[in-house]
Amino acid sequence: MKHKEVPLFRVYVWERPVRIYHWINALCILVLCVTGYLIGNPIVLQHGGNDASNHYFFGWIRFIHFATAYLFLFNFLFRIYWGFVGNRYANWKNYFPYSKKHFQNMWDVLTVDVLQIRKKDIETPGHNAVANFMYFITFLAFLFEVITGFGMYSAMSDNWFSDLFRWVIPVFGGDLILRMIHHAVMWVFVVFTIVHVYLVFYHDYVDGSGVLSSMAGGWKFVSKEKFLKKNQEKAAEGK
């Protein structure tokens, strides 16, 4: 075997606040999905002679769900803020497919990585175009879950913050339908997580850019030649 040198460039892609956001978000989604599923399908305490005054099991599950929901919301709001002040990979503009180029990139990812009917070298230090679009969809799901969730919570809380969501129940026409939709959208997160984790492994394996560890250290490895060329192009565009 011959050793061929491939010059790689180490790029600091995910800044520390983005990484912290990611892991808080992941933890929140895990907790919210588990507690949310249990709220819909509770485990029954089955010890003989149980008396309600000795237990608060379901109350705790619900408390954890509500408390985590607050953390989830404020973490999400922080991420939106970071979309305006963070580096180019965190910028809010990435998430909206508005340019022809973005759609072209999405097509490339779909044909090369998803369907694998074409071969092309796609190198994106940040999220690729399809990933960006999917995150945009998940942000909408975040928003939807926050609105429906706090809408239901407003019926049992006098807190001024949840009172801001008093309008939600009348819009949906009742708690039952709101509950069902809120519960159903949870599965979007489950499916998203499965695909997300798989694709991280996939790209780590196929691209060799270190994406799996990038959410720990923030670094990714890209071809030096291309990265510098791209930077020059960007600089030229800027002028």
Return residues touching other proteins (CB under 8 A): 1-4, 6, 37, 40-45, 50, 52-59, 61, 114, 116, 119, 155-156, 166-167, 169-170, 173-177, 179-180, 183-184, 186-187, 190-191, 194-195, 198, 202, 205-206, 208
Q: Which is nearer to other proteins, 15 or 175 (CB)?
A: 175
Dist CA 135 CA 126 (whole Å): 13
Q: Which is nearer to other proteins, 2 or 100 (CB)?
A: 2
Q: Which is nearer to other proteins, 107 or 205 (CB)?
A: 205
Contacts of 207 (CB under 8 A, 6+ apart): 123
Q: Which is nearer to other proteins, 58 or 66 (CB)?
A: 58
- CB of 211: closest distance to other proteins in angstroms? 14
- CB of 104: closest distance to other proteins in angstroms? 22
Residue 209 · residue 227 · CB < 8 Å: no
Q: Which is nearer to other proteins, 183 or 230 (CB)?
A: 183
Would you give the DSSP letter of residue 113? I
Contacts of 8 (CB under 8 A, 6+ apart): 221, 222, 223, 224
Dist CA 166 CA 31 (whole Å): 25
In angstroms and rounded to an integer, the radius of gyration of the C-alpha atoms of the chain is 22
- CB of 92: closest distance to other proteins in angstroms? 28
- CB of 103: closest distance to other proteins in angstroms? 23
Of the candidates 185, 214, 208, 205, the residue with the CA atom closest to the CA atom of residue 22: 214
